[in-house]
Amino acid sequence: MSSHEREVIGVDDRVSVGCAIPLGIQHMMSMFGSTVLVPVLTGLDPNVAIMCSGIGTICYLLVTGNKIPSYLGSSFAFISPILAVGATQGLDAAMSGVVVAGLVFLAVAGIVRLAGTGWIDRLLPPVLVASVMVVIGVGLSATAVDMAFMQDLPDGTSAFYGLGAVVAAITLVAAVVFSSMGGIFGTIPVLLAIIVGYVVSVPLGLVDFAPVAEAAWIGLPNISAPRFDVGAIALVAPVAIVVVIEHIGHLLAVGEIVGKDYREMLPRSLAGDGISTMISGFLGGPPTTTYAENIGVMSVTRVYSTQIFWYAGGFALVIGGFCPKLAALIQSIPSPVMGGVCLLLFGLIASNGLRMLVSNKVDFDVNRNLMIASVVIIVGVGMETSGISIPIGDYTLPGMATSALAGILLNLILPGERQESR
């Protein structure tokens, strides 16, 4: 059976426990690398971050009425302000900013609830949404390529890693092969590819089992309470506005992939993300956001059931919160393995953006469509792949948010289609 013939498991469909377990593990594994990277970079506890991602995902599913298949993991947008606050006032003060960032999400959700969602169609036409999807996928390509082909050196630089590139290539080929197969292989291709890459990595010496051996089988999470500080809040909380833009882009991308219009559910979706972020801040974890990695998994597997995300969130909660050894085992997965998988996942997100352009019959003979798509894609991809962010006071505006704002502005000021066609 080819991939296009594979049965679609819809948002409201349910599968057996035997199928749900590997599907849930697959989603958990897909988010693991990025979710752990944020606390590693900021000094927070990785296990708490994993636990908070599970709690956040479950809260999100509850708030959205089990209608939106999404996984919430650590947000990269907050890395710089958390580092800045942590260096001067401590991480406990930074967590107060994370809590208030969650409140910002709730405030925006309330505003959208009152104002309605009709403005989304006006501000975010299909050409803009599709272009943002391309930016999400291609913009993340630099991260995937770096994991797949590069190695960090002791002097702080990086260099091409031939052995890692081989492992990444094997993992990528495995993911492509499994995804083209029918049955269980085509349903969990990402998980199977990670296993293949891991098995190949072991004899090549790419896996360090020392942290796994040292970790306890059962342990309690190292949670910490926030210390509220006005300066820390002022530095960290405003970043939530940037993440709101990212959130909307992800929500529309999910809707396009699963074939549902989630615009009316934006207030609930934002509220779910806000509550998740608040809980994470109170527990000493990083702020959360919807994850592109898991959007990619849905695209390749055609499994959209929210049931699977309950399992993924539950596994993350248990492993991150109470089983350090399993968490250490998953953290031992080499970067090239995850890089190989992400090359496919991120590419699929971009491809779905292109598909949206086709399905919505976006006419590039219309100059405004050409201008919007060109600016959004080049600005977004250029900034994301080069690691450029626009400094705004004490925080920064990343490429995806910048390109989305540029696209919204162009959509508002450029003459309409009817006027252009004269």
Q: Is 372 a domain residue? A: no
Q: What is the pLDDT of residue 63?
A: 95
Helix boundaries (H) for 162-291: 162-179, 183-187, 189-201, 210-214, 230-236, 239-258, 266-283
Inform me whether the pLDDT recorded for 143 exceeds 90.
Answer: no
Of 94 and 387, the one with more pLDDT: 94
CB–CB of 49/286 below 8 Å?
Answer: yes
How much is the average pLDDT of 101-115?
90
Instruction: Choose the weakest-confidence range: 125-134, 234-243, 268-277, 310-319.
Output: 234-243
CA 264 to chain CA centroid, nearest Å: 22
Among candidate residues 249, 300, 33, 50, the one with its CA nearest the CA of residue 146: 33
Domain-embedded: residue 233: yes
Alpha-helical runs (H) found in 43-140: 46-63, 79-88, 91-115, 118-123, 126-139
Q: Are 289 and 77 in contact (CB under 8 A)?
A: yes
Rg of the chain, C-alpha, whole Å: 21
pLDDT at 110: 92
Q: Flag whether 51 is in a domain.
A: yes
2 band by pLDDT with thresholds 50, 70 and 90: very low
Highest mean pLDDT out of 158-162, 200-204, 239-243: 200-204
Q: Are strands 288-290 and 390-392 parallel, antiparallel or unpaired?
A: unpaired
Q: How confident is the model at residue 351 (pLDDT cuts 50, 70, 90)?
A: confident
pLDDT band at 417 (very low <50, low <70, confident <90, very high): low
Give the pLDDT confidence score for residue 269 in this predicted structure. Answer: 94
- Backbone φ and ψ for 366, nearest 5 degrees, come out as -80, 120
Q: Quote the mean pLDDT of the chain.
A: 84
Query: Is 286 domain-assigned?
Result: yes
Tens-place pLDDT, residues 40-97: 778 888 889 889 999 999 999 999 999 999 999 888 777 777 877 888 888 889 899 9
Contact 274, 106 (CB under 8 A): yes
Band (3; pLDDT cuts 50, 70, 90): very low
Give the closest residue to 330 by CA, choosing from 216, 229, 195: 195
Asked if residue 121 is part of any domain, the answer here is: yes
Give the separation between CA 162 and CA 242, rounded to whole angstroms.
37
Max Cα separation, the chain? 72
8 A C-beta contact, residue 288 and residue 35:
no
Query: Which two tokens mark 409?
Result: 């502005």
CA distances from 232 to 19, 107, 268, 287, 369 (A): 45, 19, 27, 14, 41
pTM, two decimals, is 0.78
Instruction: Give the per-residue pLDDT at 1.
Output: 41
> Residue 10 pLDDT more than 90?
no
Number of neighbours of residue 157 by Cβ within 10 angstroms: 9
Q: What's the rounded Cα separation, in Å, for the pair 118 and 276?
A: 26
Domain residues for 31?
11-125+169-350
Q: What share of the chain is helix, strand, coil (3-state, %, to 5)?
A: 70, 5, 25
Q: How far apart are CA 263 and CA 118, in angstroms?
A: 9
326, pLDDT greater than 60: yes
102 with 278: CB under 8 angstroms?
A: yes
Using CA of residue 347, residue 349, residue 355, residue 360, what is the dihedral sign? negative
pLDDT confidence tier of residue 402, bands split at 50, 70 and 90: confident
In this predicted structure, what is the pLDDT of residue 197?
A: 92
**Residue 21 domain flag:** yes
Q: Which of 53-57, 207-211, 354-358 has the highest mean pLDDT?
A: 53-57
Q: Which residues pair with 21 in a beta bridge?
A: none
Residue 412 in any domain: the answer is no
Is the pLDDT assigned to residue 313 strictly greater than 50? yes
DSSP letter for 119, please: H
Q: How many structural domains does the chain have? A: 1
The answer as to whether 103 is a domain residue is yes
Q: Quick one: pLDDT at residue 394?
A: 59
Tell me which of 157-161, 210-214, 321-325 is least confident.
157-161
**Which comes out higher in pLDDT, residue 187 or 210?**
210
**Residue 296: which of 123, 421, 179, 403 has the closest Cα?**
179
Q: Is 72 helix (H, G, I), strand (E, B) or coil?
A: strand
